[in-house]
Structure 1
Amino acid sequence: MASTPPNGQNTLPLFYSSLVPLSSQAHADFGLKTREDLGFTKNTHAIPVTVDEFPVVQRHYPIVFGLGENPAPLALVGLQEGKNLYVGEDNMWEKGQYIPAFVRRHPFMLARLQPNSEELSLCFDEGSGLVTTDAEQKFFNGTETTELTKNILGFCEQFEQAVMRTRAFMDELTKLDLMMDGEVTINREGLDQPAVYRGFRMVSEEKLQALRGDQARKLVQSGLLGLVYAHLFSLSLISPLFERQFAQTGK
């Protein structure tokens, strides 16, 4: 979810195959083709989300946390690796369901052109096929950026700011030692044995309740406690997600 150098092929974010800086010199005649579907998301079951999205995401998908040293919040759109249950055979996202900003941002993102640089540049995924010379919506009018480019840059800047807020939230959860390995057991009539879903992290309600008074007040005053409960409430959607999976795959 974080910014990535264009030459960091091995560390590119989900959905990105390459990154190229957008410039008026190299892309004077380029523009953006209209995206016709979201098929590029159909082979993933977990999509990064920011804390800014928690209030709406919690109504649509379970919010869990990834594994590793720098875990990110993830919206579960499936329970099987490589299967998005919300993208149909037509490669369209199911109507009425929230599409995470991480998906809507593609094929653009802000990235550092040099690893040690603090400056972020607007880049695009060259492999997306959406940035071409035959697109009607152009990025530049001479050397000036068009409204299209300004809007894209504004969206990516807002997303990057939300990423920073998300990192601060995750740092606070780590500092308070609130995380635990997650496990959900689903009992369904007709199954020989319960379905068990693991491989994620979640907030421990027991640890949350054991916080000191000053720690709890800090969470409340910062607004982070609401985010924690949005995450916890969203976990109730794992069972409906399993039912969706069962309806589509029979397992």
Structure 2
Amino acid sequence: MATQLLIYGQVEALNNKRHIDWSIKAGNNYNYAKKVNSVPLMAVEFSKAFEEYSIVFAGSGDELLPVVIMGVREDENLYVDQEGSWKANYVPAFIRRYPFVFASTDDGKTLTLCLDENYDGCNQEGLGERLFDADGEQTEYLGKVLDFLQDYQTHYKRTQLFCQALNELDLFEDMGAKFTLSSGEERSLTGFKVINREKLKALSQEALSTLMKNDGLELIYLHLHSMRNFNKVLERLPKQEENASEEVKELEAIE
């Protein structure tokens, strides 16, 4: 599965000395995400993402997070076309925050706003939105960027707590998906976890009540409903690969 900074290249701390005359010309080109097959999804995004993506869980311990599956090969995102357009109505916030990201060297106690200087929209010709004004003060645009990333960080922490609660209830099981390409080649996608329905049904009334009160139960069912979208990912395979078998053969628990 994807790593947190997989779409980032030359990441540098943003400051008014190094970037005093830098601007960002944003666009609708997502080529920077063409080689990532999954990205983290915040819990607040489930209601917008579940109709178009499969939402699963990846990682372990405090690093366990929901992710959306966007491809069946490690270096392929089937939601970005040849022209760099995103082929879905909803774009995950992890993608939308690019080329900016928070970095930390003390377990999140101090966050530093960083910029991927390899982003095509970075320029020193005044194209797009400036990061700092002539006096070195942050612009309104940069202020909005900070607000977005701070909001993302808040939801990141809430999502971690949600996952920790599910883990403590022992609701997860390791899962894999098998499917067949038109060439007859069988492939599998592994390394993710899902909620086990039987374990969910076996929860105590108290645990279920707690999940319902904090909206956790709704998020669980959105996740389970989204599992039907594995086939939608396969439908995005190049034409020469999609014809023979457009359905996931099976989802199987991994011992």
TM bucket (normalised to shorter chain) is: 0.7 to 0.9
Q: Unaligned regions of 5+ residues in structure 1, if any?
A: 1-10
Does 1:122 find its partner at 2:113? yes
Contact 2:79/2:236 (<8 A) preserved: no
The letter for the 2-side match of 1:115 is: D
Contact 2:183/2:241 (<8 A) preserved: no
Q: Who is 2:162 aligned against?
A: 169
1:231 to 223, 234, 240: 223
**SS of corresponding position for 2:236:** helix
1:134 to 122, 125, 141: 125
Task: Sort the Cα spacing of 1:215 and 1:88 in 2 relative to 1 into closer, same or farther, 3 A.
Answer: same
The Cα of 1:227 is off from its aligned counterpart by 0.6
The letter for the 2-side match of 1:241 is: V
Task: Sort the Cα spacing of 1:205 and 1:36 in 2 relative to 1 into closer, same or farther, 3 A.
Answer: closer
Task: Sort the Cα spacing of 1:246 and 1:12 in 2 relative to 1 into closer, same or farther, 3 A.
Answer: closer
Q: CA RMSD in A?
A: 2.5
Q: Who is 1:58 aligned against?
A: 50
With the length of structure 2 as denominator, give the TM-score of the two structures: 0.84
Count of residue pairs brought into register by the alignment: 238
Q: Who is 2:252 aligned against?
A: none
Contact 2:7/2:36 (<8 A) preserved: no
- The one-character-per-residue Cα deviations of 1:191-211 (angstroms, maximum 9, x if unpaired) are 869865433110000100000
Task: Sort the Cα spacing of 1:126 and 1:178 in 2 relative to 1 into closer, same or farther, 3 A.
Answer: same
The letter for the 2-side match of 1:43 is: K
Task: Sort the Cα spacing of 1:151 and 1:207 in 2 relative to 1 into closer, same or farther, 3 A.
Answer: same
Structure 2 distance, partners of 1:149, 1:185, is 44
Structure 2 distance, partners of 1:50, 1:110, is 16
The letter for the 2-side match of 1:22 is: L
Q: Who is 2:142 aligned against?
A: 149
Contact 1:183/1:198 (<8 A) preserved: yes
Contact 1:181/1:199 (<8 A) preserved: yes
With the length of structure 1 as denominator, give the TM-score of the two structures: 0.85
**SS of corresponding position for 1:231:** helix
Structure 1 distance, partners of 2:29, 2:206, is 48
The Cα of 1:246 is off from its aligned counterpart by 6.5
Task: Sort the Cα spacing of 1:230 and 1:23 in 2 relative to 1 into closer, same or farther, 3 A.
Answer: same
